[in-house]
Amino acid sequence: MTGYKLYYFELRARGEICRLSFKAAKIDFEDIRLNREEWIKEKASGSPPLGQMPFIVTPEGKYLAQSGAIMRYICKKGGLSPSDEFDEAEANMIVDSTYDLRAKLIRIRFESDPDKKENLIKDFYDNELPARLGGYRAVLKDKDFLVGDKLTYADIALFELLNSFLADGEPVVPKELEKFPLLVEYYKRVLSVPQINDWVVNRDKCSLFP
């Protein structure tokens, strides 16, 4: 039986959260990075569900797309999913809000009008990001991890956003956390999880966006 295969571009963007989930869950996977031409052929085969990447192929030959669904599935397999129903809902609250922030950063990246781009950047860094970080701090309280008493996919989603999108994938604390000392400690705690640290420090580096 072959193992898991993950298909994405040679980018972090929406693929890195899947790579990090496999690593955090200690599940081996083949990290397949397609270029544009290879992707066009793969898409034309009709195999990728929804016609988008990232997608995975399981050892049983099943296909799954959508980075959030892949993250939840892999993390559940690796014991990184909350068992309590409310904890699970709270984890999903965090994940969904990190996806809101990702969508804003992706919009900023691809905005071609310089004035609009500047306004989007200002609103994001002056208003939206600090408001959400304050919210994450309130959920964290004095716990080690966001939900329950162990690392879950809520931590994977938030850490990946902070590390990949704000710290450019480097093993450093993003400067945006400076006003949130509890989140600085939390970020360092997640970064020090051995399999996460190993990935962030030693991964095959690629850029966030094209």
Ligand X SMILES: N[C@@H](CCC(=O)N[C@@H](CS)C(=O)NCC(=O)O)C(=O)O
Nearer to ligand X, 98 or 173 (CB): 98
Nearer to ligand X, 67 or 81 (CB): 67
Q: Which amino acid is at 73?
A: Y
Of 6, 13, 20, 151, the residue at the interface with ligand X (CB under 6 A) is 13
Within the chain, residue ranges assigned H as helices are: 16-24, 36-44, 67-77, 85-110, 114-123, 129-140, 153-160, 181-191, 194-202
Of 12, 14, 19, 23, the residue at the interface with ligand X (CB under 6 A) is 14
Q: Which amino acid is at 144?
A: D
Nearer to ligand X, 58 or 66 (CB): 66
Residues binding ligand X: number (CB under 6 A): 9
DSSP string spanning 23-42? Answer: HHTT--EEEEEE-HHHHHHH
Angle between helices 16-24 and 194-202 (to 10 degrees): 140
Report 161-200 residues binding ligand X (CB under 6 A): none
Q: Which stretch binds ligand X (CB under 6 A): 47-55, 114-122, 145-153, 184-192?
A: 47-55
List the one residue out of 165, 161, 127, 125 whose CA is nearest residue 146: 161
Shortest distance, position 53 Cβ to ligand X, whole Å: 4
Report 50-109 residues binding ligand X (CB under 6 A): 52-54, 66-68
Nearer to ligand X, 11 or 93 (CB): 11
Q: Edge to edge, what strands does the sheet with 55-57 contain? A: 29-34, 4-9, 55-57, 63-65
Shortest distance, position 101 Cβ to ligand X, whole Å: 13
- Return residues touching ligand X (CB under 6 A): 13-14, 43, 52-54, 66-68
